[in-house]
Structure 1
Amino acid sequence: MPGFRYSLGGETFRFDDLRTLLARATPLRSGDQLAGLAAGTEVERVAAQVALADLPLRVFLSETVVPYEKDEVSRLILDNHDAAAFALVAHMTVGDLRDFLLSDAADSAMLTALAPGLTPEMVAALSKICRVQDLILIAQKCRVVTRFRNTIGLEKRLSTRLQPNHPTDDARGIAASIFDGLMYGSGDAVIGINPASDNVATLIDLLHMLDAVIAENEIPTQSCVLAHVTTTLQAIEQGAPVDLTFQSIAGTEAANKSFGISLALLAEAHQATLALNRGTLGQNVMYFETGQGSALSAGAHHGVDQQTLEARAYGVARAFDPLLVNTVVGFIGPEYLFDGRQIIRAGLEDHFCGKLLGVPMGCDICYTNHAEADQNDMDILLTLLGAAGINFIMGIPGSDDVMLNYQTTSFHDALYARRVLGLRPAPEFEAWLDRIGIMAADGTFAPNPLPPGELSHTVLRLGRA
């Protein structure tokens, strides 16, 4: 598409290649401005969006935004493309695809079948010409269901990651947060700790603690300590009880190298975790986190806009059949997403793109303290993502992560979303909450502030061990 031109409002705009067209069509965000990729005016942005809407989907199979021969993520995307699944929409433009996905003809079953035929660049392009209600309506029709010890992603369900971080990895503090979260019905997606250090011995201690909490209380959930994948592999070699292997990933080979990973290393970790065979309902054993701006912050963006690269990260994720994929949408900072408006739009785009690609999307609905955002912005994004059918969100005591020093969603926020939108936890976890006396099947909480049985004793005892 060299030398592509489009005229609008008496001006003629030139977009030299697909990479440029995608960047100029992106809704305004500070990261693209920082990289010098953003449209110079709103007129140029609209011209690019109109030109993008007229672009045949087949172009994305012949022109790459990062060269095939130089980037293993590009090779993964194109080599794994499912031509048979793509045949349904192969004759369409980006704008045609939007119209089709908004129609009643595109139901959940059809979108599931279509997912392997879509590339990350296609869905990124599509998101750029969608308004907010389009991002919500289309994503709401996408069902991506995964299983380990429970079932995540079913319709009218909203799961939570119980995130009991502690600035010194103190087991007592972690145990208190776990107990607090369970009492509010949090933790069905995963009980997942961000460790303060990447020490193997600390990782193994935390894994044993989480495993004992889950086993002794017969909680139908899974645990994860979000250490680097190489650290987790060492823990597996030493016999640690690893349920899920975690890793942050990005949309280019160079950005992943900055994280100390490659596709081959992820494949090794995937196979090692599968071999443990710890799942009872399924074997989705990977947990990935992403975020718009990660490639740019590593100087590894190849002149591609941050939202397109974020979608490419989901192309990496889906190759490994993860249980959970989480866009940590506002965590990287205002250099990439400046304010609440940009964070809200980015969170909806990320969820939309991941779901269309068949990825089990969650969102850390968050912001850093130096961003132009507040908890009201997060309430808006939480409500919109709940309506859009997000698989899971974060649950943290009081919304304030005392180890990572950022603001996210609390146990109470998840209860709000479930109540207002008529959502429920994963079915197996919901049955456990009812059985132990924390939350009844109708979603109401027991009047007694402590549940019956040994939950409080075992969790807090393990924290003292």
Structure 2
Amino acid sequence: MKLKTSMKGHVYEFGSLKEVFGKSNEERSGDDLAGVSASDLKERIAAKSVLADLLLTEIRNHPLLPAEEDEVSRLIEESIDETVYASISQWSVAELREYILRTETTGDELLRISKGLTSEMIAAVAKIMSNLDLIQAASRIEVRTRCNTEIGHRGTLSSRAQPNHPTDSLEGMKASLYEALSYGIGDAVIGINPVTDHPQTTKALLEAAKEVMETWRIPTQNCVLAHVTTQMEAIKQGARADLIFQSLAGTEKGNRAFGIHKALLDEADALIHSMGSAAGPNRWYFETGQGSELSSEAHHGIDQVTLEARCYGLARIYKPFLVNTVVGFIGPEYLYNSKQVMRAGLEDHFMGKMHGLPMGVDVCYTNHMNADQNDMDSLAVMLASAHVNFLIGVPMADDCMLNYQSLSYHDIATLRELFGRAPAPEFRDWLQDMGLWLNGTLSQLAGDPRLFWRGGGKRG
């Protein structure tokens, strides 16, 4: 395995594959903090050149974190389709990139070859792709999933309604939810972040969301984003949950910091399929985000792009309904400014899609980051171009409970109008019945939540 190259008479030699992976990333503060980034642009280019020439088989045969030492590594390794892998194992990373970007390569073909790729291979090819490459490749991949309803159809842009409340007030949550629904937001999920990680709170929020869904016959799914063990206890107590949620890390140690491991995920998977209230087969909602492993000192010297890809390798085992990266939530220690957030959002979306996942993005930032709402608008437009499965909406783009900035309900409505996208088919039909959707866009009734407490509109 060749780990050196010469550029203009200067020889760049790298000590390990892990070093090549880290130094070939586009610049980001998290890699600087971890001490794995390139010292300058020249070294970054040299690392990319070395990475591009490596064979896929070399990456597999030299794991960055051996399966003997890490549960996530074992799961990724065991998930590989050996027949597909054998057909592409002698490709270089550069050849994989060229194949992905060929005009004649379809989304179905990308999903086929993805079964033979490890997460490290997918991360490697992302590192040598431009932003436009990431958009073009991801835009070809259509991933449909079904919980109560089906999302991911070509020509749609789905959305999570995030009606959080700083005191877990059920009436406050409903008020925010009604506003979301009035803008056509919530076809992917009504997903509530609770303040209190307690089974009774989780159950109350799940039931309140179900009550709204049943009263207005809304074709969607509910979820409360408490810790998975809290949700499990709420379900055992009779809570009606369509989806079960958990944040993931890309290493076993990182997941232990989240309070999870494979045996627990397996137990939760069995529970949501036996006691969950959904009709369809896809009943998981996972969230990820670059930098979480570094924050828990669980990165093993591996760069954050590769660790993020490993999250998706773990997620795909459970055939989730939704996956999203919370791209700018952790803060400037990991993604310093808008340029780094935009790049990470496009990387994460591409890598998730290349794992065959129904990928969404929380287009977000924190107030101590060198970014603003215009930057988020730009990233949202790029992701819509890349055919992202869903985006997250909060009232006025400002989450009053989590204290960060995301997209607003009307931002997502604007993106749909700009790109000619509709909500998921069943939800779009419901909006039409309610008088909120007319001739392929929102009607004049849209944006007024009083529709729901005046008793106006139609109910299915």
Residue 448 of structure 1 deviates from its aligned partner by 7.4
Deviations 1:261-314 (A, max 9, x none): 00111111011101135333x211000110100000000000000110000000
Residue in 1 aligned with 2:94? 95
Structure-2 change in CA distance of 1:47 and 1:278 (3 Å): same
Residue in 1 aligned with 2:198? 199
C-alpha distance in 2 between matches for 1:102 and 1:157 = 23
Residue in 1 aligned with 2:272? 273
C-alpha contact 2:51 2:93 (8 A) present in aligned 1:
yes
Bigger Cα displacement from structure 2, 86-95 vs 130-139: 86-95
C-alpha distance in 2 between matches for 1:54 and 1:4 = 9
Residue in 2 aligned with 1:16? 15
Letter in 1 for 2:88: V
C-alpha distance in 2 between matches for 1:364 and 1:88 = 36
Deviations 1:122-150 (A, max 9, x none): 11100100011100000001111111121
TM-score under structure 1 length normalisation:
0.95
Residue 6 of structure 1 deviates from its aligned partner by 1.4
C-alpha contact 2:243 2:284 (8 A) present in aligned 1:
yes
Q: Which runs of 5+ in 2 are unaligned?
A: none
Corresponding pairs, count: 456
* Residue 419 of structure 1, aligned match among 412, 417, 425: 417
TM-score under structure 2 length normalisation:
0.96
Residue in 2 aligned with 1:5? 4
After TM superposition, the structure 1 = structure 2 runs for residues 329-340 of structure 1, keeping only pairs within 5 Å, are 329-340=327-338
C-alpha distance in 1 between matches for 2:420 and 2:87 = 34
After TM superposition, the structure 1 = structure 2 runs for residues 70-81 of structure 1, keeping only pairs within 5 Å, are 70-81=69-80
After TM superposition, the structure 1 = structure 2 runs for residues 34-113 of structure 1, keeping only pairs within 5 Å, are 34-113=33-112
Structure-2 change in CA distance of 1:376 and 1:451 (3 Å): closer
C-alpha contact 2:435 2:445 (8 A) present in aligned 1:
no
Deviations 1:382-424 (A, max 9, x none): 0000000100001111000000000000011101111111111
Structure-2 change in CA distance of 1:451 and 1:235 (3 Å): closer
C-alpha contact 2:397 2:406 (8 A) present in aligned 1:
yes
C-alpha distance in 1 between matches for 2:357 and 2:249 = 15
Structure-2 change in CA distance of 1:65 and 1:416 (3 Å): same
C-alpha distance in 2 between matches for 1:79 and 1:441 = 48
- Confirm or deny that 1:322 pairs with 2:320: yes
Letter in 1 for 2:453: S
Residue 52 of structure 1 deviates from its aligned partner by 0.6
- Confirm or deny that 1:384 pairs with 2:385: no
After TM superposition, the structure 1 = structure 2 runs for residues 13-412 of structure 1, keeping only pairs within 5 Å, are 13-276=12-275, 278-280=277-279, 282-412=280-410
| Matched residue SS, 2:263 | helix
Deviations 1:227-257 (A, max 9, x none): 0000011111111101110000010000000
Letter in 2 for 1:121: E
C-alpha distance in 1 between matches for 2:251 and 2:343 = 22
Deviations 1:169-192 (A, max 9, x none): 011110110000000000001000
Letter in 1 for 2:153: L
- Confirm or deny that 1:439 pairs with 2:437: yes
C-alpha distance in 1 between matches for 2:238 and 2:90 = 52
C-alpha distance in 1 between matches for 2:375 and 2:242 = 34
C-alpha distance in 2 between matches for 1:335 and 1:277 = 38
Residue 458 of structure 1 deviates from its aligned partner by 7.5
Residue 447 of structure 1 deviates from its aligned partner by 4.1
C-alpha contact 1:164 1:192 (8 A) present in aligned 2:
yes
| Matched residue SS, 1:68 | coil
| Matched residue SS, 1:394 | strand
C-alpha contact 2:159 2:391 (8 A) present in aligned 1:
yes
Letter in 2 for 1:414: I
C-alpha distance in 2 between matches for 1:440 and 1:88 = 49
Residue 104 of structure 1 deviates from its aligned partner by 2.2
| Matched residue SS, 2:190 | strand
C-alpha contact 1:438 1:451 (8 A) present in aligned 2:
no
Moved over 6 A (4+): none
| Matched residue SS, 1:101 | helix
Residue in 2 aligned with 1:456? 453
Deviations 1:324-368 (A, max 9, x none): 001000000000000000000000000000101101110000000
Structure-2 change in CA distance of 1:193 and 1:447 (3 Å): closer
Structure-2 change in CA distance of 1:166 and 1:449 (3 Å): closer
C-alpha contact 1:6 1:47 (8 A) present in aligned 2:
yes
| Matched residue SS, 2:413 | helix
C-alpha distance in 1 between matches for 2:454 and 2:65 = 54
Letter in 2 for 1:52: L
Letter in 2 for 1:456: W
C-alpha distance in 2 between matches for 1:448 and 1:342 = 35
C-alpha distance in 1 between matches for 2:106 and 2:172 = 45
Letter in 1 for 2:180: G
C-alpha contact 2:3 2:50 (8 A) present in aligned 1:
no
C-alpha contact 1:401 1:408 (8 A) present in aligned 2:
yes
Identity percentage of aligned residues = 48
Residue 449 of structure 1 deviates from its aligned partner by 6.5
| Matched residue SS, 1:319 | helix
C-alpha contact 1:213 1:458 (8 A) present in aligned 2:
no
C-alpha distance in 1 between matches for 2:324 and 2:287 = 5
C-alpha distance in 1 between matches for 2:445 and 2:225 = 35
C-alpha distance in 2 between matches for 1:80 and 1:258 = 24
C-alpha contact 1:437 1:451 (8 A) present in aligned 2:
no
C-alpha contact 1:431 1:441 (8 A) present in aligned 2:
no
C-alpha contact 2:203 2:234 (8 A) present in aligned 1:
yes
C-alpha distance in 1 between matches for 2:164 and 2:276 = 27
